């Protein structure tokens, strides 16, 4: 995610519709996000045999699920990193003694 500090308009295509977004992020990043949204919508529509529009709420739930799991994983890894740093500090103190 590249923040250049200035807002710009970026056009993306999701589910066959063109959207203009106003963002600080660069075109490549916004395209990645739009591609994920588009792919998730299409995969959900195919899996549920619904139109892309009807599959929208289920696709949002799927992406929200991924987001929550990713945040939980980050929290776990941050705690594990803190634990390992503390263990390293203790081991270094014992080695010096």
Strands 17-25 and 3-14, sheet pairing: antiparallel
Global pTM?
Answer: 0.77
- Measured between alpha carbons, how far is 17 from 78 in angstroms, rounded to an integer? 39
Number of domain units in the chain: 1
| pLDDT (0 to 100) of residue 4 | 59
* Beta carbons of 48 and 25 less than 8 angstroms apart: no
Query: Which domain does 61 fall in, by range?
Result: 3-96
* Beta carbons of 25 and 1 less than 8 angstroms apart: yes
- Dihedral of alpha carbons 24, 63, 12, 28, sign: positive
Residue 19 forms beta bridges with which residues?
12
Q: Confidence band (pLDDT; 50, 70, 90) for 65?
A: very high
Whether residue 1 has pLDDT greater than 90: no
């Amino acid at each position: 995610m590249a923040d250049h500090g200035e807002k710009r308009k970026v056009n993306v295509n999701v589910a066959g519709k063109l959207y203009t977004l106003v963002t600080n992020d660069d075109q490549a990043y916004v395209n990645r996000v739009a591609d994920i949204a588009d792919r998730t919508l299409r995969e959900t529509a195919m899996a549920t045999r619904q139109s892309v529009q009807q599959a929208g709420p289920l696709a949002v739930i799927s992406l929200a699920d991924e987001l929550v799991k990713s945040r939980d994983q980050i929290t776990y890894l941050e705690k594990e990193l803190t634990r390992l740093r503390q263990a390293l500090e203790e081991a270094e103190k014992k080695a010096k003694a």
